[in-house]
Amino acid sequence: MSNKKPVIAALIVAAGAGERFGASLPKQYQPLLGIPVLKYNINKLSQIIDINNIYVVINPLHELLFIHATQGMDLPPPVTGGATRQETVRRGLEAIAASDAAKPDYVLIHDAARPGLSVDLIRRICDALAESDAAIPALPVADTLRRLQPDGRTQTESREKLYSVQTPQGFRFELIHGLHQSHADTVVTDDAALCELAGHAVTLVAGEKDNFKITEADDLARMEQALANRCGDIRTGTGYDVHRLIPPPDDLRRLMICGIAIPHDKVLEGHSDADVGLHAVTDALLGTICDGDIGMHFSPKDARWKNADSAAFLRHAADLIAARGGVVTHVDLTLICEAPKIGPHRDKMRARMAEILCLPESRISLKATTTEGLGFTGRGEGIAAQAVATVRLPFTPAIQMAAATEDDDTRKWGT
């Protein structure tokens, strides 16, 4: 290879119906620490691979689930999968070849059911492809194996030189694309097997224990634990917001608090929907990643956010955390007002915030208080909200953090 940086594409195979998983929502769309499993994969791959080069092959019945899971991501359109995994991969490779983008040098083919892949693993595979036609992650088999005999008894089998294979599997793009075309009728268990069949060597790189495949419902809980264990950097952020209460300026404006429309004789004044509760939580989340405040991300001078649903602001903050490999673990919000009464709406508000953040309600606390008639809240002139959020981020060594801060300093503030 020349010194030119290789163009890398990823193909995420997410077309399975997931019969073994047994839930109504297919496993690739299940929430994993508040993020759909599929999105977890995309977030990881996009740390090495340009997001425009990350292709997802989906089941045509899951199109709405795909749109919901990948909102705000600049991905190529999804590719429709086939009847078998092999056909699904072939269709994905054909879509990459047919795209207007530059032909990739490498492609990483990855099962959506393995969201535990690490950035280091992706890097190891790409590095190995500089020297090899194919590079796949594998782990030596650790358990003692037994083979069932024709008489029904079992016998110990040597595990020596045996490996269990994972994804992403990396290939030279032209090679694997060509092999899938020419061997469409040859049934193989994975893409590496096609390479071997055609006489190409396959390099093994070290796989990872946490990169196991989510097959059954229990695996999801095990994966959540594994991912949370990686996030040893526990952050706390606070948020505070106030909006003025005014008579409704028109028939459309409603009083929005925590994503719920509340019947009341006054509404909150603001450029967006003025949802004071969601604004405070959004700022608390931004605080955990030191990423400014809500006004920096959604300027009150920007016409795009006129009367905007503040759920989008909160989701954006959560997505920024997810893109850093982090998870939101807890939100505690206090609303401060004399009226309206919050109690009758509390359950709906918690449920709505849980829905926006893809978290269980047990991780969302909502409290309300008055100020005993004192101050602007006491006089009913406005509503205040304060929030605390707890987030877990992957632990970053101090030296890497210093380098990242230098990059951040070049960014323009207050735009």
Site for Mg ion in 41-80 (CB under 5 A): none
Asked whether 178 and 203 are in contact (CB, 8 A), the reply is no
**Alpha carbon distance 185, 182 (integer Å):** 8
Helices and strands (H, E) in the chain, number of each type = 13, 19
Write down the residue that tokens 């005993």 correspond to: 372
Q: How many CA atoms lie within 13 A of 233 on its CB side?
A: 13
Selected range binding Mg ion among 175-183, 271-279, 282-290, 327-335, rule: CB under 5 A: 271-279
Contact region for Mg ion (CB under 5 A) — 279-287, 300-308, 339-347, 360-368? 279-287
Site mask, Mg ion, residues 139-168, x = CB under 5 A? ------------------------------
Contacts of 407 by beta carbon, 8 Å cutoff, 6+ apart: none
Q: Residue 34 Cβ, how far from Mg ion at the closest point, in Å?
A: 23
Q: What is the closest distance, in whole angstroms, from the C-beta atom of residue 408 to Mg ion in the complex?
A: 24
Smaller CB separation from Mg ion, 163 or 376: 376
User: Applying CB under 5 A, which part among 150-158, 233-241, 358-366, 379-387 lies near Mg ion?
Assistant: 233-241
Among the listed residues 83, 84, 114, the one whose alpha carbon sits nearest the alpha carbon of residue 10 = 114
Question: DSSP strand E in 218-320: where?
Answer: 233-246, 255-257, 260-262, 267-268
Which CB, 261 or 404, lies closer to Mg ion?
261
Of 124 and 279, which has the nearer Cβ to Mg ion?
279
CB 386 within 8 A of CB 280: yes
Cα distance between residue 108 and residue 103, in whole Å: 14
Alpha-carbon gap, residue 293 to 50, rounded angstroms: 27
Site size for Mg ion, by CB under 5 A?
2
Residue 250 phi, psi dihedral angles, 5° rounding:
-155, 180
Q: How far is the CB of 246 from Mg ion (least distance, A)?
A: 14
Which C-beta is closer to Mg ion: that of 220 or that of 268? 268
Options 52-60, 99-107, 148-156, 234-242: segment touching Mg ion (CB under 5 A): 234-242
Binding piece for Mg ion, criterion CB under 5 A, among 70-78, 119-127, 201-209, 275-283? 275-283
* Closer residue to Mg ion, CB minimum distance, 133 or 241: 241
Say if CB 146 and CB 188 are below 8 A apart: no
Among 241, 256, 324, 336, binds Mg ion (CB under 5 A): 241
CB of 386 to Mg ion, least distance (A): 12
Q: Looking at beta carbons, which residue is closest to Mg ion?
A: 279
Instruction: Identify which of residues 210 and 241 has a Cβ nearer to Mg ion in the complex.
Output: 241
Q: Do residues 312 and 346 make contact, with C-beta atoms less than 8 angstroms apart?
A: no
Q: With binding defined as CB under 5 A, does residue 279 bind Mg ion?
A: yes
Contact 214, 113 (CB under 8 A): yes
**39 or 279, CB closer to Mg ion?**
279
Amino acid at 358: C
In the bound complex, what is the minimum distance in angstroms from residue 278's beta carbon to Mg ion?
Answer: 9
Structure tokens, 407: 């990059």
* Among 175-183, 220-228, 239-247, 321-329, the segment contacting Mg ion (CB under 5 A): 239-247
Contact 388, 236 (CB under 8 A): yes
Q: Which residues bind Mg ion (CB under 5 A)?
A: 241, 279
